[in-house]
């Protein structure tokens, strides 16, 4: 709450195509859990009129979040900055909180036009096009130098922003959080969850969640899983998510002779139910910001094997909350999976420690409180 006594009105502002990823979970959950006495949150997404898969609006409305969107005719619609500035004025927004290279630029322009406070969260740079890697991302890192405050979702991202000239005092690390009440394992749900997926009770089920895109390296996971299955024929691999590599991965599964032991589930909306069917969770990425999927597994007491990328080890301390291995190393991934398949007591100890860390240090309520404090400080200055 500002000196005027009114809660700070924050516009969470982001662009995404399709169904989005981890940042959408963070933004929508943060809006749902924000303290209304301190912070009033409106979520606004840029939506390309040509995007037929966009689904953020449906998710926002299901959560009861105050949601609006700005529809662009195409990705370079010149009307967009004016529309955002008008929205800020009409809704008396105090703070614009942007979340990607495009909305950061538009937010910076809108803040200069309207006098609203400005904040960006850097989730990382995960695109694969040459234009993104050689034009947009370098320009984005230079733009962030102009922001009064940037939140980085991992120390690695924070260091990258500082290396590109941002004042260290203006860049803070704020790890993602999760709601441990929603993401909570019930032992009596395992048989039902497996039954719905057609999985026998005796199977050892390994799971992964993420967009089927190059950075996730599900191709590497499939190869590593084949080696695991050579030792443990009862093992199954479930990969939840969709993306541009689906057909290629399906071909790889067939070529590896894995058949129904490795299944691409497509988009899974109930991740909690999926975790009830799992014995082990694996992240195989070569790049992450702070991976929400690892947080979900930790909260759900699903033992974790993950690659040492982004903020993963800041969430999941190696050997304490999970096993962390080098990225792009299928032999290391295989060895870690085999280590836990063969050690049920070790799996239980890691899972219990991971759950305690989430409850005590990585809960979403703690993250939201930290954000509310930041919003109040910026809102006071803006007013």
157-167: pLDDT as tens digits: 999 999 999 99
> Once rounded to an integer, what is the mean pLDDT over residues 29-47?
94
Long-range contacts of 322-325 (CB under 8 A, 24+ apart): 322/294, 322/297, 322/298, 322/350, 322/354, 323/350
Answer whether residue 44 is part of any domain. yes
From the list 342, 211, 368, the residue with the least C-alpha distance to 279 is 342
* Res 383: pLDDT: 56
Answer whether residue 148 is part of any domain. yes
Whether 154 and 292 map to the same domain: the answer is: no
> Once rounded to an integer, what is the mean pLDDT over residues 319-332?
97
pTM over 0.85: yes
Answer whether residue 182 is part of any domain. no
**Mean pLDDT score across all residues of the chain:** 94
Residue 355 has pLDDT above 60, yes or no: yes
Residue 130 has pLDDT above 90, yes or no: no
Distances (CA, A) of 222 to 237, 252, 258, 262: 8, 8, 9, 8
Whether 332 and 369 map to the same domain: the answer is: no
Whether 36 and 123 map to the same domain: the answer is: yes
* Res 4: pLDDT: 59
From the list 186, 187, 207, 184, the residue with the least C-alpha distance to 363 is 184
Whether 110 and 249 map to the same domain: the answer is: no
Answer whether residue 29 is part of any domain. yes
Answer whether residue 39 is part of any domain. yes
* Cβ neighbours around 79 below 10 Å, total: 10
Whether 112 and 202 map to the same domain: the answer is: no
37: containing domain: 8-177+363-382
* Res 67: pLDDT: 98
From the list 103, 132, 111, 109, the residue with the least C-alpha distance to 14 is 103
Q: Give counts: helices (H), strands (E), the chain.
A: 16, 13
Report the CATH number that the domain containing residue 231 is assigned in CATH.
Answer: 3.40.50.2000
Give the C-alpha separation, 310 to 147, whole Å: 22
Q: Are 140 and 104 in contact (CB under 8 A)?
A: yes
Q: At 2, is the pLDDT very low, low, confident or very high (cuts 50, 70, 90)?
A: low
Instruction: Provide the domain count of the chain.
Output: 2
Q: At 5, is the pLDDT very low, low, confident or very high (cuts 50, 70, 90)?
A: confident
Strands, sheet with 171-173, edge to edge from the N-terminal-most edge strand: 67-72, 39-48, 8-15, 95-98, 117-122, 150-152, 171-173
**Percent of the chain scoring above 90 in pLDDT:** 88
Residue 47 has pLDDT above 90, yes or no: yes
Whether 326 and 369 map to the same domain: the answer is: no
Answer whether residue 3 is part of any domain. no
Whether 167 and 264 map to the same domain: the answer is: no
Whether 151 and 251 map to the same domain: the answer is: no
Long-range contacts of 37-41 (CB under 8 A, 24+ apart): 37/1, 37/7, 38/1, 38/7, 38/8, 38/372, 38/375, 38/376, 39/7, 39/8, 39/10, 39/371, 39/372, 39/375, 39/376, 40/7, 40/8, 40/9, 40/10, 40/66, 41/10, 41/12, 41/65, 41/66
* Res 182: pLDDT: 92
Query: Which is higher by pLDDT, 82 or 17?
Result: 82
What tokens appear for 248 in the block? 């290629």
Compute the C-alpha angle 330/332/336, nearest 5°.
115
The residue to which tokens 């733009």 are assigned = 143
- 232-280 pLDDT, tens digit per residue, is 999 999 999 999 999 999 999 999 999 999 999 999 989 999 999 999 9
* Res 289: pLDDT: 87
* Res 330: pLDDT: 95
Helices assigned H by DSSP within the chain? 22-33, 56-62, 80-90, 101-114, 130-131, 137-143, 155-163, 190-196, 218-231, 246-255, 271-276, 292-299, 312-315, 330-341, 344-361, 364-382
Give the C-alpha separation, 282 to 335, whole Å: 12
Answer whether residue 2 is part of any domain. no
Whether 370 and 357 map to the same domain: the answer is: no
Per-residue b/e over 353-362, b at no fewer than 16 CB within 10 Å?
bbbebbeeeb
Whether 108 and 131 map to the same domain: the answer is: yes
Give the C-alpha separation, 367 to 106, whole Å: 26
Whether 125 and 220 map to the same domain: the answer is: no
DSSP state of 171: E
Answer whether residue 95 is part of any domain. yes
Residue 79 has pLDDT above 90, yes or no: yes
Whether 171 and 216 map to the same domain: the answer is: no
Q: Are 169 and 201 in contact (CB under 8 A)?
A: no
Q: Are 144 and 122 in contact (CB under 8 A)?
A: yes
């Amino acid at each position: 709450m500002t000196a005027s006594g009114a809660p700070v009105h924050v516009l969470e502002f982001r662009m995404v195509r399709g169904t989005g990823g981890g940042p959408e979970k963070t933004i929508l959950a943060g809006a749902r859990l924000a303290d209304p006495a301190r912070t009033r949150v409106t979520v606004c997404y840029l939506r390309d009129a040509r995007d037929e898969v966009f689904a953020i609006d449906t998710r926002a409305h299901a959560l009861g979040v105050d949601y609006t969107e700005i529809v662009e005719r195409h990705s370079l619609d010149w009307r967009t900055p004016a529309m955002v500035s008008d929205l800020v004025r009409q809704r008396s927004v105090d703070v614009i909180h942007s979340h990607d290279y495009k909305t950061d630029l538009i937010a910076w322009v809108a803040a200069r036009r309207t006098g609203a406070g400005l904040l960006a969260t850097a989730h990382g740079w995960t695109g694969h096009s040459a234009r993104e890697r050689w034009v947009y991302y370098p320009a984005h890192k230079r733009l962030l130098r102009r922001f009064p405050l940037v939140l980085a979702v991992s120390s690695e991202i924070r260091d990258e922003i500082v290396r590109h000239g941002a004042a260290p005092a203006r860049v803070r690390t704020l790890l993602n959080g999760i709601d441990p009440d929603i993401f909570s394992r019930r032992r009596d749900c395992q048989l039902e969850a497996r039954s719905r997926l057609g999985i026998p009770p005796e199977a050892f089920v390994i799971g992964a969640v993420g967009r089927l895109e190059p950075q996730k390296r599900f191709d590497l996971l499939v190869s590593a899983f084949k080696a695991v299955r050579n030792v443990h024929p009862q093992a199954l691999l479930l990969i939840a998510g969709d993306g541009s590599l689906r057909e290629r991965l399906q071909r790889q599964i067939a070529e590896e002779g894995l058949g129904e032991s490795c299944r691409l589930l497509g988009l899974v909306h109930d991740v909690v139910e999926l975790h009830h069917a799992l014995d082990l969770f694996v992240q195989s990425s070569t790049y992450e910001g702070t991976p929400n999927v690892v947080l979900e597994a930790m909260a759900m007491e699903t033992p974790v094997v993950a690659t040492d990328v982004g903020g993963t080890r800041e969430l999941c301390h190696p050997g304490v909350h999970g096993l962390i291995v080098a990225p792009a190393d299928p032999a290391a991934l295989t060895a870690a999976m085999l280590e836990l398949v063969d050690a049920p007591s070790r799996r239980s100890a890691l899972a219990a420690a991971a759950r305690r860390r989430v409850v005590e240090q990585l809960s979403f309520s703690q993250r939201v409180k930290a954000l509310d404090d930041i919003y109040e400080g910026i809102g006071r200055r803006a007013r």
